[in-house]
């Protein structure tokens, strides 16, 4: 058990699997009380039990982060149980692999709702609470594809590009309230979402993952490695860091113009 987040209360959206789950477990080990928001009820409840069995504090709320009422209920539940919110990790996200001409309007709307609108809704709920309590840290999940375009990922790239600039705008607006706002831009990370991309593209999973490791470090990222970046941004080690887009991608963007 560490103490980098001792006494802190944290919300993680999309917290029941992948990077969100790894981050929740790490934050709990570092002393934070964890509020997990996710649509997957069984996975969320299982994660909370694991954190509690390890001596941590945790709660789960089933949430559709694209719905304002759900976000409000999540924040109210967290305040009722923990009393305050120090860290918000807007991690929930989905991907649809398609070009503009292949994409349905419904898929466009859903990706933008989950990947961008949710951050607006959650932050709108949490920022007044943080400001009243003297500050906090908000971390938004962006992507390397928020900084550089990729094939057959038009709406995903658009959504993650929006996250990068939303992060910067929020940092400007809420720095005077001592609220730091940063985003993480991971490269391909070994999660169920990455493997689902192979299915969407009609590719064999082994071939798809093999292509994903073509980067200077020669491998996929691990969810736990992205979680370490989130811990840095959430902790006092990043006390003078705001408006940053932290690239954690094994060098994938290093050769980009």
Give the domain CATH number at 53: 3.40.50.720
Alpha-carbon span 29 to 69, nearest angstrom: 31
User: Is-catalytic flag, 156?
Assistant: yes
- Residue whose entry in the numeric block shows the structure tokens 């809704």: 121
Residue 16 lies in a domain: yes
Residue-range definition of the domain harbouring residue 106: 9-186+224-248
- The Cα–Cα gap between 10 and 256 comes to 35
Q: Please state whether beta strands 136-141 and 33-38 pair in parallel, antiparallel, or not at all (unpaired).
A: unpaired
Tell me if 159 sits within 8 A of 111, measured CB to CB: yes
The mean pLDDT of 129-146, rounded to a whole number, is: 98
* Nearest alpha carbon to residue 234 among 2, 73, 4, 1: 4
Residue 159, domain member (yes or no): yes
Residue 118 lies in a domain: yes
What does the pLDDT look like over 204-242, one tens digit per residue? 877 777 777 788 999 999 999 999 999 999 999 999 999
Beta carbons within 8 Å of 127's beta carbon, 6+ residues apart: 138, 174, 177, 179
Mean pLDDT of the chain: 95
**211 assigned to some structural domain:** no
Residues 59 and 38: their CA atoms lie apart, in Å, by 11
Q: Which of 27, 89, 156, 208 is catalytic?
A: 156
- Alpha carbon 62 to its chain centroid, in Å, reads 16
Residue 191 lies in a domain: no
Q: Is residue 109 one of the residues assigned to a domain?
A: yes
If one counts the domains in the chain, the total is 1
Quote the pLDDT of residue 91.
98
């Amino acid at each position: 058990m560490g103490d980098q987040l001792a006494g802190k209360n944290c919300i993680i959206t999309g917290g029941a699997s992948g990077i969100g789950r790894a981050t929740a477990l790490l934050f709990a080990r570092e002393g934070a009380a964890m509020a997990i928001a996710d649509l997957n009820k069984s996975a969320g409840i299982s994660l909370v039990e694991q954190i509690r069995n390890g001596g941590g504090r945790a709660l789960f709320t089933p949430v559709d982060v694209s719905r304002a009422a759900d976000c409000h209920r999540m924040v109210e539940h967290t305040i009722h149980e923990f009393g305050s919110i120090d860290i918000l990790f807007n991690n929930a996200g989905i991907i649809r692999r398609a070009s503009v001409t292949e994409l349905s309007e419904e898929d466009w709307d859903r990706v933008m709702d989950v990947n961008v609108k949710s951050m607006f809704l959650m932050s709108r709920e949490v920022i007044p609470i943080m400001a009243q309590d003297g500050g906090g840290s908000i971390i938004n999940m962006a992507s390397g594809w928020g900084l550089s375009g990729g094939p057959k990922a038009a709406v995903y790239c658009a959504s993650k590009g929006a996250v990068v600039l939303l992060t910067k705008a929020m940092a400007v607006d809420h720095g005077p309230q001592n609220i730091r706002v940063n985003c993480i831009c991971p490269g391909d990370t070994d999660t169920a979402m990455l493997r689902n991309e192979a299915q969407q593209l009609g590719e064999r999973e082994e071939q798809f993952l093999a292509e994903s490791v073509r980067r200077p470090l020669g491998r996929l990222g691990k969810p736990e490695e992205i979680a370490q970046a989130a811990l840095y941004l959430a902790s006092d080690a990043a006390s003078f860091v705001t408006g940053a887009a932290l690239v954690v991608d094994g060098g994938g963007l290093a050769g980009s113009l």
